Structure 1
């Protein structure tokens, strides 16, 4: 009996041994965890564990193919092993771990580690350089760093971040800020930040501000001139200017196509030249020429001939009406037959009107008026009987305060309390005529109708007794028809 029990124990022992051998043949499946990015010179840790492995377990951290980085042993099993690494430029690569236990070996997953170099020495460069461009041209700013990897870029325009809402104004391409067709609104101060991020840690490097200048093309120059008296002689002052453009620009004065002066305007778009002028004499044809880096333009000509004021002077009166055909104002214009620089003055009933309401020392009875077109036009802005009277204008040379005046004849402007306009008079007259015509027409129609009714009641016998000669001789007349014919 005991011998039989001993024989039964050996199969159990053989089965257990077989199970041990089978379990030892199960492959190891280690798992590697660790960062995929790390800053240069930082310290990182890779951890490797092979679950359900019999102890002891030997772990090896390998880089790329078979470069051994470190080895460690888990003597009790089920524990992870950490490999600490100081990140250098050579640390960039693929890492995996290898686990060995009970004569079996397994290889883990791979982790690609990228070494991130923080940005340093950031600056803004431009194309073209220096960052000066004419409107409509292309300008590109670059955010350059001396060292750095895995970088993102942020641009600032006049200390405000360039956001997606401004991308119609700018175009971002990598580290570049592109302006395809610049306008004066692109001018200002630009800076950039180059930055990188690992987990929640951001490191950045900012540049200095760079000023971008946008130049505007110069418009066609214009020319004007006036003269002034200097002792017993006269001098002409010619002005050359452009309405838009970016200084500095050079202005030249040409008289009969010969340059007589040149000025470089650095802070404005205008220049002034003095020329000799004699009233009554033709001193030639003047033009202005403007030059910039890319342009050369010439103005329209102006004749340097000063004609003294003289000849006939007259006043034209124009009445101004509202939409309801009510008289609202009156405009008086002064016309002089000749004179290059006339100076105008107005008189009401031989009293000089002030040239401005501030001339309080000049007494006038005209409280509502305005002057326009260099005092050539007098506007009576409010009409009342006070504005009635005789108006005259006079003119003299603007450049000679002591010169003689030429005067117009007086024009009467009559304003009454009850004033019917010409349109109103015509309207009333037309309405009266129309009513009269309607009344006359109605009377004729009534008489013709009454006459027809009378003929309808004549007996046939009486009609037959009427001699034929009388019917044809025209003695029988229709009184009502004759009256209508006369009326008509």
Structure 2
């Protein structure tokens, strides 16, 4: 029993030791192959495999003599250790890098490859020359490669010797396994080899003078064919309501430098909605519903083209329900039993829609339907105010409400009036008549028109009926021979036509309409006679007033007074601002004009004037 336990323990120990050994890979040692004595160089030790969270100690030794330690480096994360060495003659020989777990003795150390370093003690024929003018030469050809092609870069210098080289890709050190003196060589490129490359050349002398030259960056593009396109719905559900955001992403299993297209039901989507590999619609509508597909593509040297089509994803964008309209009709169940059939209707909204009917704030009933309308039946008492009805429509989180309408049904009653208006033509003849049918009360009336006791349809050869319940109904006629007859309308409840109220009957034909009524003729004749009498009275009053005012003076006296000459020499013109000659000239003009007007009467007037001058003057 004890022996079995011991064997198992040894086996576990061995397995643990074996698994520990397998977790620490072999390091690789790189660096310059020759160096000038008393110069600084850097040796690089790269370890690709090591346990996580285990400090690793990397040490640089002379081969076979691990007591001769040149440098060491402890790391938790970095895979490459830089060992700076100030070159001495004893550094020449085979160097190796040893990796060991610093805190775990169960993990055996591993040893790198052998790297030979030649130390030049004297270089009389090649004096020290600082590095300068580093530039990258793309020896493999194009900077635009296809995955699997070879990439070879060389760091060229304008001057410098005993140089060590480092390469950076996007600012990070490139693995030493890819370096060969002044060259970087990748036999089979992948998309991870794309980026900006830069070489750094350096040398130093006498441990005091250090020289470095950095090249400009060269961008290498390694294209990978696209494959495995799939649509990722980043906004969540594929079933959403209008107004919500839709975001789709075209994911790839492989591929870079890719261009994207999106199709909706086989049609290209607007470029304004595309953002790199994403399609973004901030506020969706029902027009955004359909089958989406993304197409990813790239090419190499304009000769090799690669395309990947995703499977289709169906997106459903539901219309929010619109504000419902509410109306009701009255249904007569039997004698004295009535109901209101209420209809709630929305003009838009993707089903299913839930409609609810409220009486004020109380819910009467609710129903979910696949249409945009629903009906409810509510008990009714005629002539009684039963409150207000209101509809609610809901789909998703959106709810809308109709207006409130009173639930009150008043039966038709009171007199029915039938006023009318008419239209006149060019000769003032009546060419059209419109009748209006109105009941005194009634919330749900039904109107009917009759000609000579015959019910009229909604439209005929000379008439048209326009129903505008509950206010009224109109009958529009074209006056002619066919429209002659006796008209009347009847009004009854739309839900109960057992009783109807009739208007008065009115006869109409075109001769009656276009004949002047007797009262019109009487008014016109009477007005004309009144005007004649009024003019006669005015003339008579004028004669009487003139006689009273002027007495027995004859017309000749009036004429003499008008024609009495004026002695202009005695006129006082001092208060006038105008020129005196101008005033006198104007007045003489007036006298002359008067003389001209009465030249035919002048002999008679002279005779009468002479007679008046011979008569003695009367005392006042």
Structure 1 residue 244: Cα displacement: 3.2
1:373 aligns with 2:518: no
- The alpha-carbon distance between structure 1 residues 196 and 286, as it changes in their structure 2 partners (threshold 3 A), is same
Structure 1 residue 335: Cα displacement: 0.4
CA separation in 1, counterparts of 2:425 and 2:188? 91
- Aligned match of 1:457 in 594, 600, 620? 600
- The alpha-carbon distance between structure 1 residues 47 and 230, as it changes in their structure 2 partners (threshold 3 A), is same
- Aligned match of 1:174 in 271, 276, 286? 276
CA separation in 1, counterparts of 2:393 and 2:137? 81
Q: Deviations over 1:30-76 (max 9, x none)?
A: 983534344445x679899xxxxxxxxxxxxxx97986799xxxxxx
- Aligned match of 2:343 in 239, 245, 266? 239
1:249 aligns with 2:353: yes
Please report the TM-score for the alignment, with normalisation by the length of structure 1: 0.62
1:288 aligns with 2:288: no
CA separation in 2, counterparts of 1:326 and 1:179? 66
Q: Deviations over 1:289-322 (max 9, x none)?
A: 2334333333322222221112110112122467
- The alpha-carbon distance between structure 1 residues 30 and 230, as it changes in their structure 2 partners (threshold 3 A), is closer
The residue aligned with 1:394 is 490
Equivalent pair of 1:153/1:194 in contact (CA under 8 Å): yes
- The alpha-carbon distance between structure 1 residues 129 and 416, as it changes in their structure 2 partners (threshold 3 A), is farther
Equivalent pair of 1:329/1:379 in contact (CA under 8 Å): no
Mean Cα deviation higher: 369-378 or 147-156: 369-378
- Aligned match of 1:188 in 261, 285, 290? 290
CA separation in 2, counterparts of 1:214 and 1:46? 54
Q: Give the SS at the match of 2:227.
A: coil
- Aligned match of 2:260 in 149, 153, 159? 153
1:382 aligns with 2:487: no
- The alpha-carbon distance between structure 1 residues 465 and 279, as it changes in their structure 2 partners (threshold 3 A), is farther
The residue aligned with 2:232 is 125
- Aligned match of 1:114 in 194, 215, 221? 221
- The alpha-carbon distance between structure 1 residues 34 and 219, as it changes in their structure 2 partners (threshold 3 A), is same
CA separation in 2, counterparts of 1:182 and 1:261? 32
CA separation in 1, counterparts of 2:313 and 2:428? 64
Equivalent pair of 2:430/2:513 in contact (CA under 8 Å): no
- The alpha-carbon distance between structure 1 residues 348 and 463, as it changes in their structure 2 partners (threshold 3 A), is farther
The residue aligned with 1:276 is 379
Please report the TM-score for the alignment, with normalisation by the length of structure 2: 0.50
Equivalent pair of 1:32/1:110 in contact (CA under 8 Å): no
Structure 2 stretches lacking a partner, 5+ long:
1-135, 155-168, 199-215, 536-558, 560-593, 614-620
- The alpha-carbon distance between structure 1 residues 461 and 112, as it changes in their structure 2 partners (threshold 3 A), is closer
- The alpha-carbon distance between structure 1 residues 346 and 368, as it changes in their structure 2 partners (threshold 3 A), is same
Q: Deviations over 1:271-305 (max 9, x none)?
A: 11011123333333222223343333333222222
- The alpha-carbon distance between structure 1 residues 415 and 87, as it changes in their structure 2 partners (threshold 3 A), is same
Report which of the two structures shows the higher radius of gyration computed on alpha carbons: 2
CA separation in 1, counterparts of 2:189 and 2:493? 91
Equivalent pair of 2:241/2:396 in contact (CA under 8 Å): no
Mean Cα deviation higher: 150-159 or 290-299: 290-299
- The alpha-carbon distance between structure 1 residues 142 and 464, as it changes in their structure 2 partners (threshold 3 A), is same
Equivalent pair of 1:369/1:378 in contact (CA under 8 Å): no
Alignment length (residue pairs): 367
- The alpha-carbon distance between structure 1 residues 421 and 46, as it changes in their structure 2 partners (threshold 3 A), is farther
Structure 1 residue 396: Cα displacement: 1.0
Q: Deviations over 1:147-202 (max 9, x none)?
A: 3222111111221123xxx34xx332111122233334333332111111112211
- The alpha-carbon distance between structure 1 residues 143 and 93, as it changes in their structure 2 partners (threshold 3 A), is closer
CA separation in 1, counterparts of 2:195 and 2:444? 88
Q: Deviations over 1:76-125 (max 9, x none)?
A: xxxxxxx99655567657999xxxxxxxxxxxx99865332222322222
1:228 aligns with 2:373: no
Q: Deviations over 1:433-474 (max 9, x none)?
A: 9xx99xx9xxxxxxxxxx999965223235437989xxxxxx
The residue aligned with 2:365 is 261
- The alpha-carbon distance between structure 1 residues 152 and 231, as it changes in their structure 2 partners (threshold 3 A), is same
Equivalent pair of 1:308/1:397 in contact (CA under 8 Å): yes
CA separation in 1, counterparts of 2:294 and 2:382? 64
Equivalent pair of 1:251/1:263 in contact (CA under 8 Å): yes
Equivalent pair of 2:191/2:256 in contact (CA under 8 Å): no
The structure whose RCO (Cα within 8 Å, separation 6+) is larger is: 1
Q: Give the SS at the match of 1:346.
A: strand
- Tell me how large the CA RMSD over aligned residues is: 4.5
Structure 1 residue 393: Cα displacement: 0.4
- The alpha-carbon distance between structure 1 residues 413 and 465, as it changes in their structure 2 partners (threshold 3 A), is farther
The residue aligned with 1:409 is 504
Q: Give the SS at the match of 2:482.
A: helix
Structure 1 residue 237: Cα displacement: 0.6
- The alpha-carbon distance between structure 1 residues 341 and 146, as it changes in their structure 2 partners (threshold 3 A), is same
